Amino acid sequence: MKLIIAIIKTFKLDDVQDALSKIGVEGMTVTEVRGFGRQKGHKEVYRGSEYSVKYLPKVKIEIVVNKKLEEKVIKAIKNTAKTGEIGDGKIFSFDVDKAIRIRTGETGPKAI
């Protein structure tokens, strides 16, 4: 099993969710987060005053999938979340040793 974590622009969430549904991903956890990467935030002007926005709003998606789906999930996120602009985000993949469905006690791939 694999844990896929993607940090993407907030307005891309619905598109990514639709793309993942089409390839059979049945669930995910979504968290609103703030952060910065290479762009180091940006400057904005409000009522004539300029100020720095250090941490930009992003969305973090966490998905646990069978190892067979890993590359399809990564490809779907990458192709759907890409705008070509700085700040499109990152995707990380980790091994998952154990998964347990609390309600039924199922373990392993059956639990996801």
Query: What tens digit of pLDDT does each residue of 31-90 get?
Result: 999 887 776 666 666 667 766 777 888 999 999 999 999 999 999 999 999 999 888 999
Q: How are strands ordered across the β-sheet holding 56-65?
A: 29-35, 56-65, 2-8, 89-95
Q: Return the CATH fold of 2-111.
A: Alpha-Beta Plaits (3.30.70)
At 51 the pLDDT is 66
Give the residue extent of every domain in the chain. 2-111
Residue 1: how many CB atoms within 10 A of its CB? 18
pLDDT the model gives residue 102: 94
Give pLDDT, residue 25. 93
Q: Nearest Cα to 59, choosing from 17, 12, 19?
A: 12
Residue 43 has what pLDDT? 63
Q: What is the C-alpha to C-alpha distance for residues 10 and 59, in angstroms, rounded to an integer?
A: 5
Bridge-based pairing of strands 56-65 and 29-35 is: antiparallel
Residue in this structure with the two tokens 């250090």, named with its chain if needed: 54
- Nearest 5°: the CA angle 44, 48, 50 is 35
> Residue 96 pLDDT > 80, yes or no?
yes
